[in-house]
Every structure is written in structure tokens, then in C-alpha cells.
Amino acid sequence: MTGTRPVVVGQRVRLTVDVDRYPHFIARQGGRGTVTYYHEDDHGGIVAVQMDQPITHPDAQGVDHPAATEWNNEIQWDEDIAHAMGCATLADALWAEVELL
């Protein structure tokens, strides 16, 4: 991971883009959260950010409803997401969508 900013549990971050986890939710740019889990090795891994405010999703009438409660209001990045983003590591995928506060 040379050249990649390290990921540390407890880091505070802000979303720099809308993070789409179709079909479950889209976490909106500007949301803030805390890195709650990070593990990466040769077999894959995961990084999780628990958002400060509830992640919501509008219904057909445009009314927002909680959308990430089953994931403890966390956004997760795994090797499949990193690969789809064209990133070599989970850290690269995270830092492509968040900034350190």
C-alpha cells in the first residue's frame, strides 16, 4: 500500500461524493462519520464508516426513511467495491470517496 494514506479506526471523515450502495441507499456528499472497522489482507477485507446522521432513502412520495439501519448506519467498502471502482486497495477506495476531517 505504498503511497496510500493509512486507514485507522477512529478517523473522522467526510464524504466527498454521493456513495451509492444500490439498491439499498445513497449516502449523500458532505455526510460525516467515523471509521469503525478496517481489515485488509491478501484474501480481501472490509472498511466501515458509521455515519453521524441516519442514512435515508426517499420513497415514491419523496419522504425520507432510514435506509441503513440493518448495517448500523455504516457504509462499507469491500474488495468487490474497490475492484468496481478501479482501486487496487480498500484504502484507495475509501480515500476516493472521503476526506479526512
pLDDT for 38 equals: 97
Average pLDDT over every residue of 33-50: 94
Helix (H, G, I), strand (E, B) or coil at 80: helix
CA distances from 53 to 30, 31, 37, 67, 78 (A): 11, 7, 18, 11, 22
- Each residue of 56-73: pLDDT tens digit? 887 888 888 888 888 999
Average pLDDT over every residue of 71-80: 95
